[in-house]
Amino acid sequence: MQDYSFMTTEEIFLLQDALKKNKKQIYKFISFGLLLVIIAAFVPHFFLSKRLSEEEINQSLFSYKNAWFWVWLMSFVLALIFALIKVTDVRYYTIKKDLTKLEKGQIQVPLEAVYQGNNEMQTSFIVQQEGVKKRKRLFYWMRGRLDDFRTGQQVEIIYGRYSRVILAITKL
């Protein structure tokens, strides 16, 4: 059974902290993408300038003056940024929705799996939820590594309703 209630001020601050970490992670990915664009745009041009004439360089697929070069490069960088965001479980938009709606959920379930993510800066829990249809859900502890929890332990989780960011977790 899931209960939804309004968040306390402390829980709102915890979510805001998680949002800041997610925003920092997104900025890191975007800056990495921009660095790739700069390297991919100017390094090939530099090496081609040693061997080819300026006209041959401008006709090359590796020239930053070629429109197709920019199309494939930007497509690659955007796909890379979104892949990094997906792989690292960035929950920016769902946390923002939680901060707008201010609803939290509470469940008591056994842990199915526990694993560390994001360079051990986040602990994720998979639980089997009871209800109309049994399904596994992933919950996120965004404040570092939690080593005290093991698979099979019965826990009570208080979480943001939409982001499933854990606000409090206790063993039963």
Looking at residue 92, its amino acid is Y
CATH placement of domain 93-171: 2.40.50
Q: What pLDDT score was predicted for residue 64?
A: 67
Average pLDDT per block of 10 residues along the chain, 172 residues long: 69 84 83 82 74 72 72 83 73 82 86 76 80 75 79 88 86 85
> How much is the pLDDT for 3?
60
Please give the pLDDT value at position 19.
83
The partner residues of 124 in beta bridges, in order of sequence, read: 115, 140
Main-chain dihedrals φ then ψ at residue 133, nearest 5 degrees:
-130, 135
What single letter denotes the amino acid at residue 48? L
Would you list the domain boundaries of the chain?
8-92, 93-171
Q: Is residue 84 within 8 Å of residue 29, measured between CB atoms?
A: yes
pLDDT of amino acid 89: 64
DSSP letters for 21-51: HHHHHHHHHHHHHHHHHHHHHHHHHHHHHTT
SS3 18: helix
pLDDT of residue 119: 64
Residue 43 backbone dihedrals phi, psi, to 5 degrees = -65, -50
Asked whether 97 and 7 are in contact (CB, 8 A), the reply is no
